Chain A
Amino acid sequence: MLYVAPLWPAGHLSRKGGDHSFLCRIRTITVLAKRTACLISPLAGEMAGRPEGGAKERSPMSLFAGLLAFILLALAILPAHAQSVEDLVRQLPDGSFSDRGRVVQALAATGDARIAPLLESLAAGDLNVIEETGRIVTTSGRGDTVTATDALTGEEIGEVASAGVERIRVNNSLRRAVRTAVGQLTLMSPDAGTRMSAARAMFQAANPDNVELLDEAIAQEENPAVLQIMQEARAVAILRSDAEPAAFAEAVDVIVARGDRQALGILQAALSSADADVTPTIDAGISAIQRHLQLLDVGQNVWYGISLGAVLLLAAIGLAITFGVMGVINMAHGEMVMLGAYTTFVVQNMIRASFPELFAWSLAFALPAAFLVTGLIGIAIERGVIRWLYGRPLETLLATWGLSLIIQQAVRTTFGASNREVSNPFWMSGTFDFYGIAITWNRFWIVIFALVVFAGLLFVLKRTSLGLQMRAVTQNRRMASSMGIRTPWVDAMTFGLGSGIAGLAGVALSQIDNVSPNLGQGYIIDSFMVVVFGGVGNLWGTLVGAMTLGVLNKFLEPYAGAVLAKIFILVFIILFIQKRPRGLFALKGRAVDA
């Protein structure tokens, strides 16, 4: 198979100033084509490889020379080239994955402009082979016949029987090969995003062979973010080669500046091949990165703790109303969360079926729906069961436990016992970087959402007449009643509000957890711990409690492991309650001293 050797000198044909996509593409092809040519035809390689003398500014002469080189080169290798691309593409379905990985490398080496999209569809699993002709196609449509399009030329082939078309299988190693190849091919693409991913691919698969290609790209890169990745990729490539000490030291600096965990790994690997005089630099770099990472770890753990705390807060805040304010030991709280998650599932399905264009915003529709559904169920539970049990809090435990069993089984009968798929909208997928701390978007939005719900609830309790009445009824039911407050109505509304908020939590939790009939069970104990720890009847206590337990858990987890961390937290709560028998923020006054 072909082996692309690093024969091409740096600095060729680069320019500053406005990039032109056509030229750029030409140039990419030229570079790659010439490198291939070096192997296929030493003569052509020599001709094309004539040094340009580092032409930095754009001159008619250099442009002309470049074009000339290209034409000469194209003439020299065109027949072989064309044939080999076709042939190579036809080889894609054959052999083992590693054989095919080499085919991908060879394809990349041809530098043909059609290769990058072809390889991308290969990695996506969209390439098929027509068994009869061996032609590589992409297909569209479903059913017995599909419409085939030649993957290389884009030529319409027409209808073919789907039984005669076989998908070309890919695995991870092949996908990696494709990623590297596409990186090489698109490193000088006009689109900055494409160049960025190409640069990242080159960084992942850094190889001394790619140094000139990277130099090429670096010289004309203008986007600073892309430029940085390219330089880092180049530095890694140099660290993996036997470069001279000066270049080596320079590369070390670039990697140290990157300063993340990958950089650490790269430096540690480089330590073995480094010269004695570079070693101290690397050592210093390693310890600098390690210090930095330790600091980042603290920040990262705080974030993990906050996001766990937000989940706990969401799960517990509805309970803070039904249990904390009303005194109902609501064991069916978890089931309200679960119903909220199932509402999300139903809403997403309806939107997918009727208004697919709104799908990205399905959660916005799910929120009010979940609030209404669980709120109404909550009101029904209050009217049907709870209102007979006021003043007997421990008995509400039994009745709501019974209800939770019924709701669980009802959901299991309706939706089946297995998990249901609730998808993440695009704006809740992926990660962003915040001063070196990786923050996933879904956790980020959940934290925001938890705080918004908390603020909203606080507003309802403190600034609306319903809230006023709720607080009045909680403090002194008889007095409130004699003042003309319709206590039964307030009770129903309060329970409905608590349940509705549990439903909102369900929408959020459907984004990170299983949507199954058991969803609620996993949160009910944690919720009670949070409310009791924070102090029954105090919303701020719930907030502080949730965040404290979340952060504490996440700081313990790396040392103790997930299981022990949880046990420690439980023991901590038990001991804490001994110290403060009414939680962190205890309500004061005679009313609570039963």
Chain B
Amino acid sequence: MITAFFYRALGAKLYWVVGLLLAAAILIPASNLLLPVGHTLRVPNYAVALMGKYLTYAMLALALDLVWGYVGILSLGHGAFFALGGYAMGMYLMRQIGSRGVYGNPDLPDFMVFLNWQELPWYWWGFDNFWFAMMMVMVVPGLLAFAFGWFAFRSRVTGVYLSIITQAMTFALMLAFFRNDMGFGGNNGLTDFREILGFSVQAPATRAGLFAATCVALAVSFVVCSAITKSKLGKIMISVRDAESRTRFIGYRPEYVKLFAFVVSAIIAGIAGALYVPQVGIINPGEFAPANSIEVVVWTAIGGRGTLVGPIIGAILVNYAKTWFTAAYPELWLFALGGLFVAVTLFLPKGIVGTIGDYFAGRRERKLVEASDTPPPDLPVMRPQNAESYRGETRPQPAE
């Protein structure tokens, strides 16, 4: 019965995505660890780390889609939440190095030692503890999103203005984290990690475990996002996206709806960042760069915003293309990426998933119309892909 409820409420799509992710969480690590090196079905270490990274990006794109695709907030600063989560994890990993740093100082990370820091700054306290760090992974981006959203949404900063100030936020954070005086390692960031929860970060088993954890985290985020968007709140979110003023006139408080989505999204982005860091082995202020956040927007757009599967596919596809191009045709990589952005915005305005969805929805409708004149009984309640509603975002309304 509960299954049936979920099935009705969340749709079959959910099962596919979650099932696939969980299967990947089991099969890929198993193939990597159990099969002998050289076996055709074995996933090499390199690919495990790479796919783990893609999945964290997918999670970040999913988080962005929750606010952009469903509430119409185009955040050009989501990289900041990702990076903050990453830094929280990085700080935990730094503390795990303990006295095994090059200077053998048990109290201070190496970069503080050679810049003559005498004691650990207060904001590093507590990061020795894994659970505290994991809490911070969610609390820090969540708090920033709350503070930022609280002011911005109540002041009714919308559209382009909001996008630009989110960009200002991530840019300011980037400059701040570049400063060595901040105590986050400056430009070099945090690196040279040894252990996570007592397991060596370089061991294949740890990598496989991190990969599985990422799959699970993505699956959970997907379920959460689905649940939110399919709930009553989700409908209000969509109405805020499509007609904020009207929603307000009906009596809803769009600012709280936006704030909720923004904070949830920031927390998911933070968790993605935390999973990203041990898999790539470094976190540095470059992650805050505005260009990175714009790239996330592009993944989402390419995959199809307003669909939860879209951003996941977009993130994986674009990053896979990046991996392939930078190795195969390094000189052509930017041409290809740039061309892809232009082509997708021009020819696939709803992204890959949106376009495919439209195609099938259209075909099914035609079939149904052919079959009978009665309206289809089980059409999806919401069709966020609706073309007109998209264009409403910040379109200047004709002055009557």
Q: Are A394 and B74 within 8 A (Cβ)?
A: yes
Chain B residues with CB under 8 Å of A389's CB are: 345-346
Within the assembled complex, what's the spacing in Å between the Cα atoms of A525 and B76? 12
Chain A residues with CB under 8 Å of B151's CB are: 575, 578
Q: Are A398 and B301 within 8 A (Cβ)?
A: yes
The segment out of B104-112, B170-178, B255-263, B268-276 that lies at the interface is B170-178
The segment out of B127-135, B153-161, B200-208, B362-370 that lies at the interface is B153-161
Contact of A594 among B172, B294, B395 (CB under 8 A): B395
For residue B168, CB closer than 8 A to chain A, the reply is: yes
Contact of A408 among B334, B396, B400 (CB under 8 A): B334
Contact of A398 among B159, B335, B345, B400 (CB under 8 A): B345
Q: Are B176 and A567 within 8 A (Cβ)?
A: yes
Within the assembled complex, what's the spacing in Å between the Cα atoms of A413 and B349? 30
Within the assembled complex, what's the spacing in Å between the Cα atoms of A575 and B301? 29
**Which A-chain residue is minimally distant from B244 (CB atoms)?**
A594
For residue B399, CB closer than 8 A to chain A, the reply is: yes
**Which B-chain residue is minimally distant from A594 (CB atoms)?**
B394
The segment out of A224-232, A269-277, A418-426, A528-536 that lies at the interface is A528-536
**Which A-chain residue is minimally distant from B148 (CB atoms)?**
A574
Per-position contact with B for A376-403: 1 when CB-CB < 8 Å, else 0?
A: 0000000001001101111111110111
Chain B residues with CB under 8 Å of A327's CB are: 160, 396
Per-position contact with A for B330-362: 1 when CB-CB < 8 Å, else 0?
A: 010111011111101110010000000000000
Within the assembled complex, what's the spacing in Å between the Cα atoms of A35 and B178? 61
| Residues of chain A from 559 to 575 with CB closer than 8 A to chain B in the complex | 563-564, 566-567, 570-571, 573-575
Give the size of the chain A interface in residues (CB under 8 angstroms): 56
For residue A463, CB closer than 8 A to chain B, the reply is: no
For residue B146, CB closer than 8 A to chain A, the reply is: no
Q: Are A567 and B175 within 8 A (Cβ)?
A: yes
For residue A579, CB closer than 8 A to chain B, the reply is: yes
**Which B-chain residue is minimally distant from A474 (CB atoms)?**
B396
With contact pairs A397-B297, A589-B399 given, residues A392 and B391 touching in the complex (Cβ less than 8 Å): yes
Chain B residues with CB under 8 Å of A323's CB are: 160
CB distance from B297 to the nearest CB of A (A): 7
Chain A residues with CB under 8 Å of B152's CB are: 577-578
Give the size of the chain B interface in residues (CB under 8 angstroms): 54
With contact pairs A405-B334, A525-B290, A589-B399 given, residues A582 and B161 touching in the complex (Cβ less than 8 Å): yes
Chain A residues with CB under 8 Å of B390's CB are: 392
**Which A-chain residue is minimally distant from B150 (CB atoms)?**
A578
Contact of B349 among A392, A408, A532, A566 (CB under 8 A): A392
Q: Are B396 and A592 within 8 A (Cβ)?
A: yes
Q: Are A395 and B171 within 8 A (Cβ)?
A: no
Within the assembled complex, what's the spacing in Å between the Cα atoms of A396 and B335? 18
Chain A residues with CB under 8 Å of B155's CB are: 577-579, 581
A-B contact count (CB 8 A): 157
For residue B397, CB closer than 8 A to chain A, the reply is: yes
Within the assembled complex, what's the spacing in Å between the Cα atoms of A404 and B155? 32
Within the assembled complex, what's the spacing in Å between the Cα atoms of A218 and B331? 67
For residue A20, CB closer than 8 A to chain B, the reply is: no
Within the assembled complex, what's the spacing in Å between the Cα atoms of A536 and B301? 25
Within the assembled complex, what's the spacing in Å between the Cα atoms of A525 and B148? 19
**Which A-chain residue is minimally distant from B343 (CB atoms)?**
A402
Within the assembled complex, what's the spacing in Å between the Cα atoms of A579 and B157? 9
Within the assembled complex, what's the spacing in Å between the Cα atoms of A536 and B397? 16
For residue A142, CB closer than 8 A to chain B, the reply is: no
With contact pairs A567-B175, A577-B165 given, residues A409 and B334 touching in the complex (Cβ less than 8 Å): yes
Chain A residues with CB under 8 Å of B169's CB are: 570, 574
Q: Are A591 and B396 within 8 A (Cβ)?
A: yes
For residue A329, CB closer than 8 A to chain B, the reply is: yes
Chain B residues with CB under 8 Å of A394's CB are: 74, 159-160, 163, 393-394
Chain B residues with CB under 8 Å of A529's CB are: 164, 168
CB distance from A102 to the nearest CB of B (A): 43
Q: Are A578 and B337 within 8 A (Cβ)?
A: no
Contact of B399 among A402, A406, A476, A532 (CB under 8 A): A476
Per-position contact with A for B309-346: 1 when CB-CB < 8 Å, else 0?
A: 00000000000000000000001011101111110111
For residue A132, CB closer than 8 A to chain B, the reply is: no
Contact of A402 among B172, B340, B397 (CB under 8 A): B340
Contact of B172 among A329, A532, A567, A578 (CB under 8 A): A567
Q: Are A402 and B159 within 8 A (Cβ)?
A: no
Chain B residues with CB under 8 Å of A578's CB are: 151-152, 155, 157
Contact of A406 among B159, B339, B349 (CB under 8 A): B339
Per-position contact with A for B265-299: 1 when CB-CB < 8 Å, else 0?
A: 00000000000000000000000001100100110
Contact of B161 among A399, A404, A577 (CB under 8 A): A577
Within the assembled complex, what's the spacing in Å between the Cα atoms of A525 and B294? 12
Q: Are A570 and B338 within 8 A (Cβ)?
A: no
Q: Are A399 and B346 within 8 A (Cβ)?
A: yes
For residue A331, CB closer than 8 A to chain B, the reply is: yes
CB distance from B3 to the nearest CB of A (A): 39
Q: Are A570 and B171 within 8 A (Cβ)?
A: yes
**Which A-chain residue is minimally distant from B332 (CB atoms)?**
A409
Chain B residues with CB under 8 Å of A392's CB are: 349, 390-391, 393, 395
Per-position contact with B for A300-331: 1 when CB-CB < 8 Å, else 0?
A: 00000000000000000000000100010101
For residue A144, CB closer than 8 A to chain B, the reply is: no
Contact of B397 among A403, A566, A575, A593 (CB under 8 A): A593
Chain A residues with CB under 8 Å of B239's CB are: none
Within the assembled complex, what's the spacing in Å between the Cα atoms of A245 and B172? 58
CB distance from A79 to the nearest CB of B (A): 66
Chain A residues with CB under 8 Å of B340's CB are: 402
Within the assembled complex, what's the spacing in Å between the Cα atoms of A4 and B167? 67
Q: Are B399 and A570 within 8 A (Cβ)?
A: no
For residue B179, CB closer than 8 A to chain A, the reply is: yes
For residue A475, CB closer than 8 A to chain B, the reply is: yes
Chain B residues with CB under 8 Å of A571's CB are: 172
Contact of B338 among A406, A577, A581, A593 (CB under 8 A): A406
Contact of A401 among B156, B178, B341 (CB under 8 A): B341
For residue B198, CB closer than 8 A to chain A, the reply is: no
Q: Are A570 and B394 within 8 A (Cβ)?
A: no
Q: Are A528 and B391 within 8 A (Cβ)?
A: no
Within the assembled complex, what's the spacing in Å between the Cα atoms of A452 and B127? 56
Q: Are A573 and B334 within 8 A (Cβ)?
A: no
For residue B377, CB closer than 8 A to chain A, the reply is: no
**Which A-chain residue is minimally distant from B344 (CB atoms)?**
A398
CB distance from B147 to the nearest CB of A (A): 11
Chain A residues with CB under 8 Å of B397's CB are: 590-591, 593-594
**Which A-chain residue is minimally distant from B337 (CB atoms)?**
A405
Within the assembled complex, what's the spacing in Å between the Cα atoms of A575 and B151? 8
Chain B residues with CB under 8 Å of A478's CB are: 398
Within the assembled complex, what's the spacing in Å between the Cα atoms of A475 and B393? 18
CB distance from A490 to the nearest CB of B (A): 16
| Residues of chain A from 525 to 548 with CB closer than 8 A to chain B in the complex | 525, 528-529, 532, 536
CB distance from A444 to the nearest CB of B (A): 29
CB distance from A577 to the nearest CB of B (A): 5
Chain B residues with CB under 8 Å of A570's CB are: 168-169, 171-172, 175
Binding site for B on A (CB under 8 A): 323, 327, 329, 331, 385, 388-389, 391-399, 401-406, 408-410, 413, 475-476, 478, 521, 525, 528-529, 532, 536, 563-564, 566-567, 570-571, 573-575, 577-579, 581-583, 589-594
> Can you list 22 contacts pairing A with B, beta carbon distance less than 8 Å?
A327-B396, A329-B163, A397-B74, A399-B342, A401-B341, A402-B298, A402-B338, A402-B341, A405-B341, A406-B338, A413-B331, A528-B167, A536-B161, A563-B178, A577-B157, A577-B164, A577-B165, A579-B155, A581-B158, A593-B397, A594-B394, A594-B395
Q: Which 10 residue pairs spanning A and B have beta carbons closest together? A: A402-B341, A405-B338, A406-B338, A409-B334, A570-B172, A402-B338, A399-B345, A402-B342, A578-B155, A581-B157
Supply 4 further A-B pairs (C-beta < 8 A) apart from A397-B297, A413-B331. A475-B399, A525-B167, A529-B168, A575-B151
